[in-house]
Amino acid sequence: MANLKEIKNRITSISSTMQITSAMKMVSAAKLKRAQDAITQMRPYAEKLQEILGNLSATLDLSENAYSEQREVKNAYIIAVTSNRGLCGGFNNNIIKKVNALLNNEYAAYNTRIISVGKKANDAFKRSDANFRPEGIGEAEDMFNDLTFDRSSEVATFLMNEFAAGKVDKVVVVYNKFKNAAVQEVMEEQFLPIVVNQEEGSSSGDYIFEPSKAEIVEDLIPKSLKTQLFKALLDSHASEHGARMTAMHKATDNAGELKRDLTLQYNKARQAAITNEILEIVGGAEALNG
């Protein structure tokens, strides 16, 4: 009977776990809807801004721009974007692995520093010599508690100032790009110096520029950089909830299968115990009759 009690306790424990994972799945699904709406609304704007910048700069030399200067890389920043919480499958671990791979390979020759956005990245790299917690851009844990364009712009402005001052020669952002609830793609995007993708056949068209094309580009570049970083954070935010919803869905299914197996095991053990008791009673009755 002790074995039956142990199995029953396990069934009760798994039932409680199923309730928790199912509730977390529903919460993540609700949050995913808002986060997905945010990134799907942001992407067309960000892409159009990049397209306009590419068209305007097609006939301009951007090499003199403070954020376009290509120089020998000695100092680099890696912006590692993770979530504040776990229970989302390999979402955070994939970013941490990617950053470590960059540190140990192509960025090994540089003086590379990691700026963590998200508590999980901060926990992973806080004991690393490469960890960097700059003042004035808020705590890493706070970013996703209140994700706004203004908060993101603080980080982007800091990075632009560092690059313009010559303190860093290259900045990349490592984050999860949202594709759907079940699929997130680890991205490594160059943030600085800027690289404008000018597609073949693109042109600025027959426009009248006021005050001038050069001044418009100078104004668009900072806006484009801030938008680019904010889009990466929104992508990561939506990816987090998609990954957590998928992970909790799988956890609930796995718990259900385990509960069914344990219930079957419990019923078999209970049936065997009852059979043994019947055999003992029959055996005792026959002994008395004999």
Residue 150, token pair as written in the block: 């203004």
Q: DSSP character for 290? A: -
Query: Catalytic: which of 42, 88, 168, 217?
Result: 88
DSSP H helices, the chain, are: 2-57, 91-104, 119-125, 149-164, 213-289
Strands 183-192 and 170-180: antiparallel
Distance of CA 209 to the CA centre of its chain: 40
Residue 61, token pair as written in the block: 């030399």
CB atoms within 10 A of CB 113: 18
Distance of CA 135 to the CA centre of its chain: 23
Distance of CA 217 to the CA centre of its chain: 31
Distances (CA, A) of 123 to 27, 80, 107, 193, 263: 25, 12, 21, 28, 40
Does the annotation count 66 as an active-site position?
no
- Residues assigned a catalytic role: 88
